[in-house]
Amino acid sequence: MERHESPDWVEHVVWWQVYPLGFVGAERALADLEGAADGHVEHRLGRLTGWLDHLVSLGCNGLLLGPVFASASHGYDTVDHFRIDPRLGDDADFDALVAACHERGIRVLLDGVFNHVGRDFAPVAQALAEGPGSPGAEWVQQLYDNDGMITADYFEGHDTLVTLNHDAPVVRDHVRDVMLHWLRRGADGWRLDAAYAVPASFWAAVLPAVRAEFGEAWFVGEMIHGDYVTYVDESGLDSVTAYELWKAVWSSLDTVNLHELEWTLGRHAGFVEHFTPTTFLSNHDVTRIASQVHDERHRSHAVALLGFAPGVPCVYYGDEFGLEGVKEDRVDGDDAVRPEMPAERGLFEDRHPEVEEVYRRVLSLRRRHPWLVDGVVSTEQVTNDHLLVRSRARQGDGSLVLALNLGDAPYALPPGEVLTAEPAPVQGQVAPHGWAVVAG
């Protein structure tokens, strides 16, 4: 199986992910927007423009937008893929945001929710109302008549999320047309929500026509579990989300068990032989890294790993400020990890500037060594509380070592120039509960 190569620009991109509906403080449901039925629009999407310079100054150059299309509530129950959610704005607001991004050299990635839709998505609403014989029935997965009751396949048990029929040509054509529509409006690629639930053959059928017009577009699938390599190979996607590494990072740091991280880095290195995964510490669906790693001394180690490990890094908004937030298994349990932010960076009080500084230094390191995106990683020392990881350039002679120390005693660094560290090494040793990156 050959290695899948992404467009060249992906080698240099670092995403800053935003959940727009939460970020701008939008109404919880579309029905709560006063005048929505009469076409009223709240022009809030432009608030993100006030944060673009922060994105760049942090070291990022990509904006990963969560759902921006019309939906019934949280954005993942889409009702119209061709319309900007009126709680966020309209086409003009979207165009202005994309233009502001591209003026700054920022790529834009959209969140495509194509596994399922909301109950008010027109063909689905028709199918649910009129039954298996209706024109909309072919859009719905496993629509059937059970003693006169019309039902459908609901995504992970949520009866507001109706699974689409991915075997239906009409669904494939719709997704293709949606992708092309927004790429033509300036998007640079797509994050494909719940890709793990969609047959790989669906993307294999949809993407060739999209790539024929947009050969430089990039597609990353959300894969919480499954066979990453086979899925990428069969689907034709460029990347999938590295949930295995995400779990190992916070778990190993929180439990002081770096053997777990060492094992997972080996798995991760195997994935990189086939494609470039998308790496992250937090996102809109999980507890924030600052709430997962309870010992504050070990949180910056996660940032170092995000910058050092091979993959396409993604920073979830607010992590750079040390924001905490716990995802809860209840209705509206995501609220804490999807907070509202002010209209511009200057209005936000950063209570942990030391965290933001670590992000800047780590992402600066990444910028100076872009080969880390697909570096060949190996571990050289490991105990419960310390780990040495080396990354070598796939082409050329670049080589860096990341040393992690979760223990109370210092230990010796390998020879070489210290490029960045937290805190600064003393007499060639990694400080207790510190880390360092060494060239050599």
pLDDT of residue 92: 98
| 313 upstream amide cis, omega within 30 of 0 | no
pTM, rounded to two decimals: 0.96
Query: Residues of the chain whose pLDDT is less than 70?
Result: 1-2, 143-151, 156-157
- Residue 192 bridge partners (DSSP): 112, 221
Could you give the CA distance from residue 216 to residue 188 in angstroms, rounded to a whole number? Answer: 8
pLDDT of residue 174: 98
In tens, the pLDDT along 279-296 reads 999 999 999 999 999 999
pLDDT of residue 146: 59
Domains and CATH numbers, the chain: 8-119+154-374 (3.20.20.80)
pLDDT of residue 36: 85
pLDDT of residue 286: 97
- 387: buried, middle or exposed (CB in 10 Å: 19+, 13-18, 0-12)? buried
